[in-house]
């Protein structure tokens, strides 16, 4: 049976390199998300500044990670999580202004195709909670990106989170995993990741041109991009779903 060891980016340059490779492989098709204001300004530096929070689940036998989990400590009010989910975590963690950091903000879990559907991402969620406990924090907050929402870009997120599968479980597998790992679904984070870029940016990512203003689905996007030819800008406002966890006991 495979045994996993939890390490971090801080442990060795090789592990940092493997973590970057896994993140890139998991997210390359969604590269437009790297261009939210917060992501572009702070993300990579933040991961290096908090290298001890960038977890790698390493296969004991091969010595190579099967999952990477990114999180950062920040100050937050668990009862007042804002609509600007993911971008807000990154901006708050980067501009902390001396506030007491009381929570871990989960930013991403990346699992290579080969290792999906085996529960390693759920294990990573448990490791976030364990890390929060070790650091003496109150818990973990996560603006979760529903993994199947991209198939339904025109369905409002409020409707989508109410969908069930034929067993009466949450329809979305990744929301289901967060719930199964003990997370409490709080509410949608309606403006979690906002990418506002010239129309030419969206033409590049989609490989098509836009000759009319309107809402267009893009591969991997959870909602359509709103293209406005008068201003020459395309705006993508991705909703995520807030989950909260107490620190592991
Ligand atoms: C989303 C993502 C992280 C999920 O990774 P994963 O390892 O497949 O996810 P999970 O750990 O949740 O897998 C759980 C599934 O595996 C099954 N499973 C198999 N063996 C298991 C075990 N020993 N323990 C738990 N679950 C197991 C479960 O039954 C469950 O499926 P179900 O809910 O239909 O029952 C992965 O697809 C990914 O990296 N995607 C690209 C990046 C991304 O979108 N990340 C998420 C946003 S941050």
State the CATH number of the domain containing residue 167: 3.40.630.30
Work out the average pLDDT over 24-53.
96
Question: Could you give the CA distance from residue 222 to residue 228 in angstroms, rounded to a whole number?
Answer: 19
Query: Which atom of ligand 1 lies at the shortest distance from residue 121's CA?
Result: 11
Q: Is the pLDDT of residue 1 over 70?
A: no
| Ligand 1 mean position, distance from CA 214 (Å) | 35
Residue 176 CB–ligand 1 contact under 6 Å? yes
Question: Measuring from atom 14 of ligand 1, which residue has the nearest CA?
Answer: 119
Work out the average pLDDT over 203-210.
96
Beta strand pairing status for 139-144 and 103-110?
parallel
Q: Is the pLDDT of residue 247 over 90?
A: no
Question: Measuring from atom 26 of ligand 1, which residue has the nearest CA?
Answer: 119
Same domain, 212 and 164: no
Same domain, 179 and 201: no
Work out the average pLDDT over 212-218.
97
Same domain, 204 and 123: no
Same domain, 203 and 185: no
Domain span at 181: 4-192+240-246
Structure tokens at 136: 């003496």
Same domain, 152 and 84: yes
Residue 122 CB–ligand 1 contact under 6 Å? yes
Residue 56, Cβ density class (10 Å: 0-12 exposed, 13-18 middle, ≥19 buried):
buried
Neighbours of 245 (CB within 10 A): 24
**pLDDT for the residue 164:** 97
**pLDDT for the residue 2:** 72
Same domain, 97 and 220: no
Q: Phi and psi at residue 247, in whole multiples of 5°?
A: -65, 150
Same domain, 152 and 210: no
pLDDT tens column, 20-34: 999 999 999 999 999
Same domain, 106 and 210: no
Question: Could you give the CA distance from residue 86 to residue 125 in angstroms, rounded to a whole number?
Answer: 16
Same domain, 126 and 224: no
| Ligand 1 mean position, distance from CA 119 (Å) | 5
Strands (E), the chain: 4-8, 54-59, 65-74, 103-110, 139-144, 184-198, 214-216, 225-228, 233-246
Query: Which atom of ligand 1 lies at the shortest distance from residue 119's CA?
Result: 11
Same domain, 203 and 163: no
Same domain, 96 and 213: no
Dihedral angle sign, alpha carbons of residues 76, 120, 68, 188: negative
**pLDDT for the residue 249:** 56
Question: Measuring from atom 6 of ligand 1, which residue has the nearest CA?
Answer: 116
How many domains, in total, are found in the chain? 2
Q: Is the pLDDT of residue 243 over 90?
A: yes
pLDDT tens column, 62-80: 999 999 999 999 999 999 9
Same domain, 99 and 15: yes
Q: Is the pLDDT of residue 205 over 90?
A: yes
Instruction: Name the residue with tokens 């591969």.
Output: 219
Work out the average pLDDT over 88-117.
97
Query: Which atom of ligand 1 lies at the shortest distance from residue 26's CA?
Result: 41
What percentage of the chain exceeds 90 in pLDDT?
98
């Amino acid at each position: 049976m495979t045994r996993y060891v939890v390490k971090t980016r801080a442990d060795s340059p090789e592990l940092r390199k493997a973590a970057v490779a896994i993140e890139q492989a998991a997210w390359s098709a969604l590269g437009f998300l790297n261009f939210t204001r917060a992501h572009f300004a702070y993300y990579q530096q933040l991961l290096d500044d908090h290298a001890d929070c960038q977890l790698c689940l390493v296969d004991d036998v091969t010595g190579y990670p099967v999952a990477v989990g990114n999180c950062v400590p920040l100050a937050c009010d668990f009862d007042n999580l804002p609509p600007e989910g993911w971008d807000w975590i990154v901006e708050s963690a980067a501009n902390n202004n001396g506030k007491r950091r009381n929570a871990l903000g989960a930013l991403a879990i990346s699992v290579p195709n080969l290792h999906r559907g085996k529960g390693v991402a759920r294990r990573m969620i448990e490791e976030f909670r364990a890390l929060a406990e070790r650091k003496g924090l109150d818990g973990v907050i996560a603006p979760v990106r529903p993994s199947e929402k991209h198939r339904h870009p025109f369905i409002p997120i409020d409707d989508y989170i109410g969908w069930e599968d034929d067993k009466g479980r949450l329809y979305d597998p990744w929301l289901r995993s967060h719930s199964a790992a003990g997370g409490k679904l709080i509410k949608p984070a309606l403006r979690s990741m906002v990418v506002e870029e010239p129309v030419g940016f969206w033409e590049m990512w989609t490989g098509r041109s836009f000759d009319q203003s309107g809402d267009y689905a893009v591969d991997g996007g959870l909602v359509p991009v709103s293209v406005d030819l008068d201003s020459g800008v395309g705006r993508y406002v991705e909703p995520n779903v807030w989950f909260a966890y107490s620190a592991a006991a």
